[in-house]
Amino acid sequence: MKLLKIAILASGNGSNAENIIRFCQENPHLYQLPIVLCDNPEAYVIKRCEMLGTKVVLIPVEKKSTLAESREFQEKKMLEILSEYQISLICLAGYMRILSSTFIDYFYDVKIHAARIINVHPSLLPSFKGTTAYIEAFNYGV
């Protein structure tokens, strides 16, 4: 069976990222997780990756003349790295940015008619979206 090469995109604490990394490390015959990409230099996920021996690359959004240009520049860098590692599945684990359709299309798999991107989220979207999703879901009782 071919190894599934996974990358994580993360922005914050990294508890979900840590669990995914540990799972991959416990199942090396099935999964390889060679890289975590992070957009936030203050994110604790960086420390978690260091403790777990997982390479993390910081790719913050650089200020360009427009938000679209900033995102395009960042995503281009991310795609270069993901291509270098031949990543076939992306896990968004607390990644606090909206990915462009260009980025998502890059991971589109015709065989499954979907992008090879999984978003770890505290609710069933579109309920409780955004940066207050955990608080809203908790307050609602779900």
Indicate the DSSP class of residue 51.
Answer: H
Q: Is the pLDDT of residue 123 over 70?
A: no
From the candidates 22, 77, 116, 121, give the one annotated as an active-site residue: 121
Answer for the pair 34, 85: CB distance below 8 angstroms, yes or no.
Answer: yes
* 121 a catalytic residue: yes
| Nearest-angstrom CA–CA distance, 129 and 37 | 22
Integer CA distances (angstroms), 39 to 44, 58, 74, 82, 84, in order? 12, 6, 9, 14, 18
Q: What is the pLDDT of residue 63?
A: 76
| pTM score of the predicted model | 0.85
Integer CA distances (angstroms), 36 to 94, 98, 103, 113, 136, in order? 12, 17, 16, 25, 28
Q: What is the pLDDT of residue 51?
A: 97
Integer CA distances (angstroms), 126 to 75, 77, 111, in order? 24, 29, 26
Give 30-77 pLDDT, tens digit per residue: 999 999 999 999 999 999 999 999 999 999 887 766 777 888 889 999
Q: Is the pLDDT of residue 122 over 70?
A: no
Q: What is the pLDDT of residue 1?
A: 66
**115 beta partners:** 108
Closest CA to 68 of 103, 40, 42: 103
CB atoms within 10 A of CB 33: 26
Integer CA distances (angstroms), 64 to 61, 67, 68, 74, 99, in order? 9, 7, 8, 10, 17
